[in-house]
Structures are given as C-alpha cells and as structure tokens.
Structure 1
Amino acid sequence: MKNSPEIYHFTDNGIIPNSNHPVLIYRGIFNLDPETGVDWLVGHFAENNWTNPFHGKIYDYHHYHSNTHEVLGVYAGDALLQLGGEHGEKIAVSIGDVLILPAGTGHIELQHSDDFAVVAAYPDGMEPDLIKISDERPKGIREKVDLVPLPENDPLYGKTENGLLDHWKSQ
C-alpha cells in the first residue's frame, strides 16, 4: 500500500488561512468496490485514531476547518476539487485516492460523478467546525489554525515514516 504522496503547499490568501503544513494526496491506495472500500477506509482510519467518520460528498462551496485536520478517502466515483481557495489548485480525484488536509486548508467540490462519495475522518475524533469563505474571516483565525496539534498518527501509515509525520514534522 505504501507510496509517496503528491505534495501541495498553500499559503494564507487573506480569506482562507490554509496551513504551513502541506496537503498530501495518495493515489490509488485501494481498488475495491464502494461498499468494501468505505468499510476499509473507516476501519483503517480508526486503527490510526482518525475517527468520527462522515460519509458523503464534499461541500460545493469554499470552506475550511480551523480546529482540526481532515482525511478524505474516495470510495466511489470521481470529482474535481479545488484546494487552497478560489485561486488554488484544481485537482481530479477518483476511487482509491486519499487526501490529508491540514487544518485551515480551503476546499470545495467543483464537479463530481453521480456516484462520487468520500469518507472523512479526524484525528482523535475531533468534531470539525465549518467556516465558509462567504463568512467574515474570524478574528485570530491564523493563530487558531496554527495551534492545532500535529496528529499522533498518519491516517494510512500510523507512526511509520513517509507519511504525514515525516512531511509535517519540520513545518
């Protein structure tokens, strides 16, 4: 299962804080039917203490979570996402892809197949807040995002190297 992630850096654009940590995207982590895929993702994330799963689509408006990191595992279909805000990177994702978004990372679903679905999970079962960019930027949001602690485990690889712990430790 182990492969190297695609790495994307997004900076604070004055509206969305984004993060000093990079977004990590692992491609083709599994090739399972959707029912088996969703169970595999939920179980694997939970083994690494990324819990409080949400199943469904990604919101179709720019938003971010200021209080927690998020992992998104695609278990059905495909979609075009935009990360980092309105001028951020457009990224196609499909079944088997896993995205790790550090707290503060803007994201939106621009297009999707009819069957597109993800599992989202959060370190230590955190309950994510939801901040839309149409909202006024909350005072102190940069500091709040920067205070979100590093997770103890990568949602895919646990404590091993070549995952989140390796890519985020020096940030």
Structure 2
Amino acid sequence: MNKLAPETLTLPADHQYGFPNALLPVLVYRGAVKIKDPETGAQSFEALFARNGWLPAWRYHLYDFHHFHTTAHEALGVFRGHAKARLGGPSGIDIVLEKGDVLVLPAGVGHKSLEASDDFCMVGAYPEGQTPDLKRGDPATLDDALVQTAAVPLPEHAPLGGALAFLWGGEP
C-alpha cells in the first residue's frame, strides 16, 4: 500500500461548456515515484499501476485540447518533463505536473495540456475492464455524459495501492 497522501480536487459539472467532471475528487500524488532515468521511470509506473489493477495502455503526452472519458477512470504517471494542465474544462483549474507525479482522474473530468516541456511524457492506465472513449464537451449531451460517468464502476484499488473507495469518499 502506498502511504503517500494525495491532494484532492473536486470539480463540479461545467454546464456552460458541457463537461460532467465528477463528484469524486481528482487525486494528485506529488513525487509518487522517484525517477532517475525516464525508461526505468516509465517501467516503474507501469509495474505499480498493473500491480494494483490499472492496466498501462500508453506512453504519450497530454492532448492539447479539452477532453474527458465517460467510460473509464484514468491514471497518469509523469516519467519525463513537466506540464501545466487545465482540469475541469475551459473554466476549470490549472495544475502543474512534474516528473514523478501521478494524477488520478475520475470518469468525466476534463483535462488538457496548456503548455509542456519538449520532453514531457506520461504513462496512462485504466482500471481492468475499462476502455476510455474520448469526448470534447458539449452542453447538448451533458445530461447523458453525467449518467454515463456516474455508472463507471469504482475499481477496488487506487493505482498506487490502497482502497480507492476510501480515497473517493467510501468505506476503507
């Protein structure tokens, strides 16, 4: 179990731009993995996520357009560089991500890169059995997106270990 306590950010639905966001908080683990070398750092995130039931799916940067997923929660592990991201859609909040950080996004939370170092790269992972779609925010489909994201099952474990339900407001 990971003893590192995450920062939590709760982002309400953005009705103006059509981003459902979530009642569940975004989890931000600062310096979750100590990285000396990017390749071994990426492998460390992949192994850690997989041990906890979050299947690594890609190594890439963060898209530079607002988007969210209605069918999956997402874990992002930064293994190289740094970036400034916006969470919650166009009227959301900005956060800086650095090498070693992990960001856990509940289904529906908007995210986008505002700026990044040239070498910025992350590992992306999703709970076993969940496959992400890609939505860009649309006020006309917000009600459907709210229903879809609320129906995404909670995984048993957080991507860094421990009971995710406890971190997301449930029982330990």
Runs (4+) of structure 1 exceeding 3 A deviation are none
1:12 aligned residue:
13
CA contact (8 A) 1:52 1:126 kept: no
1:168 aligned residue:
168
CA contact (8 A) 1:52 1:127 kept: no
Q: Report the residue type matching 2:71 in the other structure.
A: N
CA contact (8 A) 2:19 2:109 kept: yes
Q: Report the residue type matching 1:26 in the other structure.
A: Y
1:94 aligned residue:
98
Aligned-partner SS, 2:23? coil
Gapped runs of 5+ residues in structure 2? none
Gapped runs of 5+ residues in structure 1? none
CA contact (8 A) 1:49 1:125 kept: no
Deviation at 1:140, TM superposition (A): 1.5
1:66 aligned residue:
70
Q: Which moved more, 1:49-58 or 1:78-87?
A: 49-58
Quick one: structure 1 residues 142 and 148, their matched pair in 2 at CA, closer, same or farther if it must change by over 3 Å? same
Percent identity among equivalent residues?
42
1:36 aligned residue:
40
Aligned-partner SS, 2:154? coil
Deviation at 1:135, TM superposition (A): 8.7
> Distance between the aligned counterparts of 1:3 and 1:60, measured in 2?
29
Deviation at 1:53, TM superposition (A): 1.6
1:152 aligned residue:
156
Deviation at 1:132, TM superposition (A): 1.2
Deviation at 1:157, TM superposition (A): 1.2
> Distance between the aligned counterparts of 1:136 and 1:58, measured in 2?
26
CA contact (8 A) 2:19 2:142 kept: no
Quick one: structure 1 residues 154 and 121, their matched pair in 2 at CA, closer, same or farther if it must change by over 3 Å? same
TM, length-normalised to structure 2: 0.91
> Distance between the aligned counterparts of 1:158 and 1:47, measured in 2?
11
Q: 1:115 aligns with which of 109, 116, 119?
A: 119
